[in-house]
């Protein structure tokens, strides 16, 4: 499927499937969506919207945050549910707060296993959303720095040029993902590590039973009864309920009322203004 722009040229359609706990990744995806002209991208929130039909899309993107040096479990289960592809071009992208680890490589591996042809990939250093890090004074609020931002902008321009080949009917080459020496020496933790580290969750009396935590949990692990009850078998320790509770009523054994990062900070919003 394609859309016709005002010059009456056919612009291929693309879809960026993203998972963003606190909005950094979503903001970066909006930047990509607005800057790339050779493809008209739809944004698809995998935490809300089920599984899309990819038939109408000439290219796909998979974007997420880093979760214990790898992509979150939600992204893996999402990609596994997609219908098998036969070489559809795809790019991968992730944000991270401190150490990226194997996130990009794992995303690329999962997309390739689903039959996508990997044509580009990039990681962007952003503020930290992991409350234990923020509470410990490691919020990295001013990332990306100038150099990192420039690299991201160059990635987006390069992606635009690469995807321009689709309209020209030319073949796009498979990309080799480069994550740097340090990251290549690291191993992603098991996808359940964050659940283990977060541990049990509790709710204090300030909870007004608004239901935001139930709605926001991407793993269906919260049920209101009438206050939230957490199913530890379903929880993946993403901290979304903690970050987004307007009353800061949710707490863990180690963290209470500190380190919340519910949405991108103003510095990041300014830098990623498209």
**Count of residues making up the chain:** 274
Q: Which does 230 bind (CB under 5 to 8 A by kind): ligand FMN, ligand SF4, none?
A: ligand SF4
Q: How would you class 89 by CB atoms within 10 Å of its CB: exposed for 0-12, middle for 13-18, buried for 19 or more?
A: buried
Say if residue 100 is preceded by a cis peptide, omega within 30 of 0.
no
- Say how far apart CA 254 and CA 200 lie, in whole Å: 10
Residue 130: CB minimum distance to ligand SF4, A? 11
Nearest distance in Å: CB 107, ligand SF4: 20
For 228, the enclosing helix (H) or strand (E) is strand 228-230
**Where does this chain touch ligand FMN (CB under 6 A) — which range of 53-61, 85-93, 94-102, 165-173?**
94-102
Q: For the window 16-35, what string marks contact with ligand FMN as x by the rule CB under 6 A?
A: ----xxxxxxx---------
Alpha carbons 14 and 2: distance in angstroms, whole number: 9
- The one among 63, 250, 268, 272 contacting ligand SF4 by CB under 6 A: 250
Report 173-212 residues binding ligand SF4 (CB under 6 A). 198, 203, 207-212
By CB under 6 A, name the one of 46, 90, 166, 245 that touches ligand SF4.
245
Residue 108 tokens read as 């690329």
The yes or no reply on residue 240 touching ligand SF4 (CB under 6 A) is yes
Q: Work out whether 99 is an interface residue with ligand FMN (CB under 6 A).
A: yes
Strands 89-96 and 59-65: parallel
Q: How many CA atoms lie within 13 A of 6 on its CB side?
A: 1
User: Of the candidates 36, 156, 238, 268, which one interacts with ligand SF4 according to CB under 6 A?
Assistant: 238
Single out the residue of 227, 222, 225, 224 nearest to residue 206, CA to CA. 227
- Interacting residue ranges for ligand FMN, rule: CB under 6 A: 20-26, 65-69, 95-101, 126-130, 194, 237-239
- Interacting residue ranges for ligand SF4, rule: CB under 6 A: 198, 203, 207-213, 217, 219, 221-222, 228, 230, 235-241, 245, 247, 249-250
């Amino acid at each position: 499927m394609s859309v016709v722009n005002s010059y009456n040229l056919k612009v291929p359609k693309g879809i960026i499937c993203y998972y963003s706990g606190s909005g950094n990744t979503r903001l970066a995806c909006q930047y990509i969506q607005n800057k790339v002209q050779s493809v008209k991208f739809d944004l698809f929130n995998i935490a809300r919207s089920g599984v899309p039909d990819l038939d109408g899309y000439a290219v796909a993107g998979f974007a997420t945050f880093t979760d214990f040096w790898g992509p979150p479990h939600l992204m893996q289960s999402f990609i596994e549910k997609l219908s098998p592809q036969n070489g559809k071009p795809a790019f991968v992208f992730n944000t991270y707060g401190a150490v990226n680890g194997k996130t990009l490589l794992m995303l690329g591996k999962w997309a390739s296993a689903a039959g996508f042809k990997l044509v580009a990939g990039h990681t962007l250093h952003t503020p930290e959303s992991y409350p234990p890090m923020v509470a410990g004074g490691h919020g990295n609020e001013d990332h990306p720095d100038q150099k990192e931002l420039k690299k991201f902008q160059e990635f987006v321009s390069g992606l635009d040029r690469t995807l321009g080949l689709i309209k020209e009917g030319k073949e796009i080459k498979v990309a080799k993902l480069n994550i740097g020496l340090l990251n290549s020496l690291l191993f992603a933790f098991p996808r359940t590590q964050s659940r283990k580290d977060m541990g049990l969750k509790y709710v204090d009396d300030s909870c007004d039973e608004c239901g935001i935590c139930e709605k926001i949990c991407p793993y269906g692990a919260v049920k209101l009864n009438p206050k939230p009850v957490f199913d530890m078998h379903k929880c993946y320790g993403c901290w979304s309920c903690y970050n987004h509770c307007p009353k800061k009523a949710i707490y863990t054994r180690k963290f209470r009322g500190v380190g919340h990062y519910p949405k991108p900070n103003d510095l990041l919003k300014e830098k990623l203004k498209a």
